[in-house]
Structure 1
Amino acid sequence: MKMKLLIIAAIVALFTGCKNEEDFRDVIYFTGTETTPTTKYSIDGPSDIGISISASCKVKNDVTAQVQVRPELVESYNKEYAKNYKPLPKGCYQLSATSLVLAEGKYVSNPLRLSITSVEDFEEGVTYCLPISIVSVEGGLPVLESSRTVYAVINQTIITYATDFGGSGYFAVPFSDDESLQSVPQVTMEARVYVKEFKGSNPFISSIMGIEENFLLRFGDVNIDKNQIQLAGGKFPVTGTLQFETNKWYHVAVTYDGAQIKLYINGELNATTDAPRGPIDLAASKGFYVGYSAGGRQLKGAVSEVRVWTKALSEADIANNICYVDPTSDGLLAYWRCNEGTGKAIKDWSGNGWDVTVTGSVSWTEGVRCPDN
């Protein structure tokens, strides 16, 4: 019996050893794609991006990889990763070569140059993707299949204005004029926000947007830190876990789908709670405000890309459209880009007529970048 067990163990060890040898064989791959095939770049204008291949070992002889642009892969990438990228427009880029050489004794090749030669055909707020694949190899090493294609994701940085309330300005939205908004089954509110100073006195509240005691996105309260975000009102508050910093841009969003309230920070889910509260009354008599709620609980800071939706956006929807969204998007109730740069009037880009005027003082922050990293 003992001999049988030893033989079985030896067979298992033999096959395990073969499998490990296969799993850990030396390979080549696009540099930086070991854990994800995506590399992200933000550009202001024409730019050069370096792309190279790496090996899991110091190569014993020259290894040459032929590469090819494959825009047709964008569609399948979007489906797999829940994105809405577009192929990089033809004529706006060039590759300096169609092959990469890993020289004998090296781990990494010299890079080829992906040149973005023009951004004139870029659409505002659109993120582009350029898949580049290894199509053949000479020199003996196989390709790591999960890294055969690198997806170069390219954002054009938007440089714009933002509305700075300075702690005394805000705007009211006359949703109460529309009876159809008295019972909204699903809601999303989102904005980019930059706080200069959190409220330092009781009740420590800095309001972002919404309706007091109903559906209000705000920072702080007497029972949470002044720099914690919270969706308050309606008996189902939900508080974020992040301690926000001053003088830093964040994207914040809250969704209600009829069953749960979810808080998102910079496109990622941060907190959630069950909330069987029924439809939201966006036309409530207390009024819908941006930068204000009852008792002078105003925002000392700036906002940009402020939006209200009559549907619950998904995490992918939020993450994919932080800097801009198509104004004709389904369910978009109101959209204030807050990029006027002068005066007190702020346009609603949704086409639904919710143009507003700032009450109190307002200034305009120049050179706001999105993405800002």
Structure 2
Amino acid sequence: MKHIFKFLGIATLACLTWSCADIDKDEVGDESKLPNAVYIEGADVNPVTKLTVDAAGGKSSFTARAANKLGSNVTLKFAINEKALEKYNELNGTHYKLLPAKYYSLSAENLTISANNISNGSIDVNVKPLDNELDASTKYAIPVSIASAEGGSLLNSSVTKIFAIDRVLYTSSLRQNGFYLKTTFNPPYTNLQEWTLSYAIKLDQNKDNQAVLSPDFYSRVTADGGLQMKVGETDDPKAFAKTKLQPGKWYYIAWVYNRQHVKCYINGTLDTEFDVPKVETFTKLNMSWGAFVGYVREIRLYDKALSAFQVMDNLYIETPENPNLLFYAPLDKNTGIKDVSKNHHAIKVYTAGSDDATEYNQSLITWQDEKFPE
């Protein structure tokens, strides 16, 4: 497409120089004179498409087309391009793995676009229901490319579409009531000029000063559902999310810090942003002290400021092998209360109000079955 736009720019300049009255005469406006190529529609703007898979499976589609009407028949061959997936991961900091071939199929592996046409319908990507053989924490994708175009040429920058599997997640969450969790980072993480702290919560009710997480700053929910990042003794009214949290609803919250500038994402969408005093050391991670009553899951600390795409892509679950994870507690029944990152920090469970004195009986902890998206 870049070559096409470049050519169009030249045509526009010509129009201004010689006057638009001469366009037809000089054949500048004749599409048949433009260079032609075949590509996957939309791949240049959105190379990744989410493909939701539930108990019945899932389906998505793509369209291969030519930039202009073809002068002769062009036969396309489609193939799975694992190298393109690896390149995308490298460039975008993602961790997609190729979905095993037994779980998916294309409705066609070859397609012919006839002369005087630009396309010949869409190709379906069909995915079977995913079983327990696949690790739920692994992100899978299907990278489809136009491998060849017999009788035509390819626009190489737009011949691949990646279908990222958005798996309906059947999991569980921890009910937090009467206890709190604590991790001490020894040695502390220092000089973190950028980081991301994310977690998911569902409140029982709105009440004042529900401490959610307290590393070397204070994350809390106020009586009216206000979500605040409180640094030191500051009480900056700008450091509140615009969204008011409601009881009984899941919220996925990410604080993304980059050199004192913070972006707050809620459910994958940028909610607000503001500046704070320096928070570049993490000595501990306190989870509630018992002031928070409700459900919690997916507590993560990264050593980088995640992009908007990464926040959304990691919304419900993360890959423990992500090298940027400093701490990761999924808090599901199968995993229990455990840091599954490469660092394996110990998480202690204390009785609320005990000041780290009394360990809580973890057999009393209850778990709730969950389905995401809700």
Alignment TM-score, normalising by the size of structure 1: 0.70
**Structure 1 residue 170 displacement after superposition:** 4.2
Structure 2 residue 67 is matched with structure 1 residue 65: no
- Structure 2 partner of 1:41: 51
Q: Which residue of 2 aligns with 1:232?
A: 230
Distance in 1 between residues matched to 2:109 and 2:289, nearest whole Å: 56
Look up the equivalent residue of 1:78 and give its one-letter code: N
Shift in Å at residue 366 of structure 1?
A: 0.6
User: Which residue of structure 2 aligns with residue 10 of structure 1?
Assistant: 19
Match of 1:51 in 2: 61
Deviation (angstroms), 1:40:
1.0
- Give the structure 2 partner of residue 265 of structure 1: 266
1:364 pairs with 2:367: yes
Q: Which one-letter code corresponds to 1:229 in the other structure?
A: L
- Rounded Cα–Cα distance in structure 2 between residues aligned with 1:154 and 1:42: 6
Gaps of 5+ in 1: 1-5
Query: Does residue 1:349 correspond to 2:340, yes or no?
Result: yes
- C-alpha distance in 2, partners of 1:7/1:156? 52
The partner residue of 2:286 within 284, 289, 308 is 289
Counterpart Cα distance in 2 of 1:7 and 1:85: 48
Change (3 A) 1:158 1:31: same
C-alpha displacement of 1:67: 1.6
Any residues of structure 2 matched to 1:100-111 within 5 Å, and which?
A: 100=111, 109=121, 111=123
> What's the counterpart of residue 220 of structure 1?
222
Match of 1:206 in 2: 210
Q: Residue type of the partner of 1:218?
A: R
1:3 is matched with which residue?
Answer: none
Count residues in correspondence. Answer: 339
Structure 2 counterpart of 1:132: 144
Deviations 1:217-253 (A, max 9, x none): 22336xxxx3342211323742223344554333212
SS of the residue 2:345 aligns to: coil
Post-superposition shift, 1:102? 6.0
* Distance in 1 separating the partners of 2:90 and 2:33: 28
Question: Aligned residues: percent identity?
Answer: 21
Q: Where do 5+ consecutive residues of structure 2 fail to align?
A: 1-14, 353-359
User: Do the aligned partners of residues 326 and 150 (structure 1) sit closer, same or farther apart at CA in structure 2, a change above 3 Å counting?
Assistant: closer
Secondary structure of the 2:347 match is: coil
Cross-structure match for 2:95: 84
Q: Deviations over 1:234-282 (max 9, x none)?
A: 2374222334455433321224455334423344554333334365464
- Mapped pair 1:314 → 2:297: no
Q: 1:133 to 1:255 in 2, by over 3 A?
A: closer
Q: Kindly provide the CA deviation profile for residues 97-144 of structure 1, in whole angstroms up to 9, marking residues without a partner as x.
A: 31235689997625445344765553332222222122345788x766
SS of equivalent residue, structure 2 residue 108: coil
CA distance in structure 2 between the aligned counterparts of 1:23 and 1:247, rounded to whole angstroms: 61
1:13 & 1:164 partners in 2: Cα distance? 74
TM-score by length of 2: 0.69
Shift in alpha-carbon separation, 1:116–1:273, aligned structure 2, 3 A = same
- Kindly tell me: are residues 29 and 47 of structure 1, through their superposed partners in 2, closer, same or farther at Cα, counting changes over 3 Å? farther
Give a deviation string over 1:298-318, Cα, whole Å, max 9, x none. 34x311111345x34432654
Aligned to 1:252: 253
Distance (whole Å) between structure 2 residues aligned to residue 305 and residue 279 of structure 1: 22
Match of 2:227, as an amino acid?
A: I
